[in-house]
Structure 1
Amino acid sequence: MTTYVLIHGAGHGGWCYQRVARRLAAEGHTVYSPTLTGLGDRSHLVSPDIDLDTHITEVANLLFHEDLTDVVLVGHSYGGTVVRGAADRAIGRVGKLVFLDAPDGRSQIEAFPVLLKEREKGRIIDGVELVLFPSEELVRFFGITDPEDIEWALPRLTPHPWKTLEQPLELHNEPALKAIPQYRIVSSASLGLGVHDGELLAASRAEGRFWEIDSGHDLMISEPDAVTGLLTEIAAAAVEVR
């Protein structure tokens, strides 16, 4: 059995993995889907101090305090940057890294220039610059189109602290990080937007570590069976020495 740690993207929370987590747990796996501070069920803790390092440290601390090893660490969207940083700080605890529609390795505004337009619509509340205020338009931008899914997701989305999106990712153990097997699952919707690193995708394809799911960006909500199936396949895959 496998231990999965599932990290959500901007404006979301651990709730967005509910369908995938239940399916993995039903197969006997151990699943953690924490909510990053300032978001979801922890939105009441939002503060001006929250940045990318805050979220990276939270995930690294989870791996340490729960004494987790050989973890399949999954990051969706913004969460891809978080899990890359957490794996860098928790070398020896992560067995495989999975980037779920996540352009890893860059600050989010580098990967998603559209966020600069979102910043224009943002607001400063209690000293915190927040963006991605929930709306039906935003939900559809995330690729959620089923009316029941929209009704479920919309009230659970929360504004996101801007500071986490513009802070560059700093790595301290890059050689060891590169040695961790890395896998990429992307949505068909995101491939045409130019947000993914073409060289990384090409390398992942050549290594058999790339999959495309015909869905929108929030594919863990819209395609939980496909995502669950690929995560179990990745966990079972033999690791080839590169």
Structure 2
Amino acid sequence: MATFVLVHGGGHGGWCYRSVAQILRGAGHEVHTPTLTGLGERAHLLHPGVDLDTHIGDIDGVLRYEDLTDVILVGHSYGGMVITGAADRAPNRVGQLVYLDAATPVNGQSLVDVAGDIMAAARLDSRVVDGVELVLHPFAEAGMFYGVTDPEVLAWMADRLTPHPWRCFEQALDLRNEAELWALPQSHIVCSSTVPSRDPELVAAARTAGRFFEIDTGHDLMITEPRAVADALMQVASA
């Protein structure tokens, strides 16, 4: 059985993987769904210093303190930045990387570099609260921004989404063990709508390797299509 660490994206928390985690655990896998500092149930820990390095340290800490090895490290959206950095910090603990409709950065890139137009739009509604510039502020139907349309699910999300510190998005990734990092197998589970905007060489290589999974749903595919996501993750594990 495999060990999964599922890392959420901007404004979310470990809660967003609830259904996927249930399916994976039901199949006998070990699953961790940490929440990054300053978000979700850890929103009370928000402070002006929270940035990408903070979140990389969060996941590095989970890998080390839970003494995990051969981990399938999964990152959604902004979580692609985080898992890349965490795998670079502890490549001996990671067996595979899975980018879940996620950013796929290289050394020196920030999320602003990777997804400039989207991040510029997000910053239009930025607000400074207690010295922290925050974006992705939740509102009644914020889940629709992530491709969710079911009214019950939208209500569930509205109670859980939290604003995200902007510093996380503008800080560049600082990789230190690139040879080991890029030697790790990578898989990509993406929404059909985002395929045209992705690096065609990366997509072609992943397809050729049998490590590309396309799901026709919105950006929060772990919420809208948990069974399809879990099935794809189990295929990654079996490979």
TM-score bracket for this pair, using the shorter chain length: over 0.9
- Equivalent of residue 214 in structure 1, options 199, 213, 216: 216
Q: Give structure 2 stretches of 5+ with no counterpart.
A: none
- Equivalent of residue 161 in structure 2, options 140, 157, 166: 157
Q: 1:51-90, aligned counterparts within 5 Å?
A: 51-90=51-90
Q: Counterpart of 1:50?
A: 50
Rate the CA distance shift 1:9–1:41 in 2: closer, same or farther, 3 A.
same
Contact 1:122 1:130 survives alignment (8 Å): yes
In 2, the alpha carbon distance for the partners of 1:114 and 1:232 equals 31
Q: Counterpart of 1:198?
A: 200
Residues 216-238 of structure 1 show CA distances to partners (whole Å, capped at 9, x for unaligned) of: 0000000000000010110010x
Describe the SS at the equivalent of 1:96: strand
Q: Counterpart of 1:110?
A: 113
TM-score, normalised relative to structure 2: 0.95
Shift of 1:108: 1.5
Counterpart amino acid of residue 12 in structure 1: H
Contact 1:4 1:32 survives alignment (8 Å): yes
Q: Counterpart of 1:173?
A: 177
Shift of 1:200: 1.4
Describe the SS at the equivalent of 2:175: coil
Counterpart amino acid of residue 157 in structure 1: L
Contact 1:107 1:168 survives alignment (8 Å): yes
Contact 1:74 1:97 survives alignment (8 Å): yes
Shift of 1:104: 1.3
Identity %: 55
In 2, the alpha carbon distance for the partners of 1:14 and 1:206 equals 32
In 2, the alpha carbon distance for the partners of 1:103 and 1:201 equals 13
Q: Counterpart of 2:2?
A: 2
Contact 2:6 2:74 survives alignment (8 Å): yes
Contact 1:190 1:216 survives alignment (8 Å): no
Q: Counterpart of 1:240?
A: none
TM-score, normalised relative to structure 1: 0.94
In 1, the alpha carbon distance for the partners of 2:193 and 2:172 equals 25
In 1, the alpha carbon distance for the partners of 2:124 and 2:67 equals 42
2:132 maps to 1:128: yes
In 1, the alpha carbon distance for the partners of 2:200 and 2:45 equals 37
In 1, the alpha carbon distance for the partners of 2:122 and 2:153 equals 23
Shift of 1:58: 1.0
In 2, the alpha carbon distance for the partners of 1:12 and 1:58 equals 15
Counterpart amino acid of residue 152 in structure 1: W
In 1, the alpha carbon distance for the partners of 2:123 and 2:59 equals 26
Contact 1:103 1:197 survives alignment (8 Å): no
Count of residue correspondences = 235
In 1, the alpha carbon distance for the partners of 2:18 and 2:232 equals 16
Contact 2:215 2:228 survives alignment (8 Å): yes
Shift of 1:99: 0.2
Shift of 1:205: 1.2
Q: Give structure 1 stretches of 5+ with no counterpart.
A: 238-242
In 2, the alpha carbon distance for the partners of 1:230 and 1:168 equals 30
In 2, the alpha carbon distance for the partners of 1:46 and 1:197 equals 34
In 1, the alpha carbon distance for the partners of 2:201 and 2:91 equals 24
Q: Counterpart of 2:13?
A: 13
Contact 2:141 2:158 survives alignment (8 Å): no
In 2, the alpha carbon distance for the partners of 1:174 and 1:123 equals 36
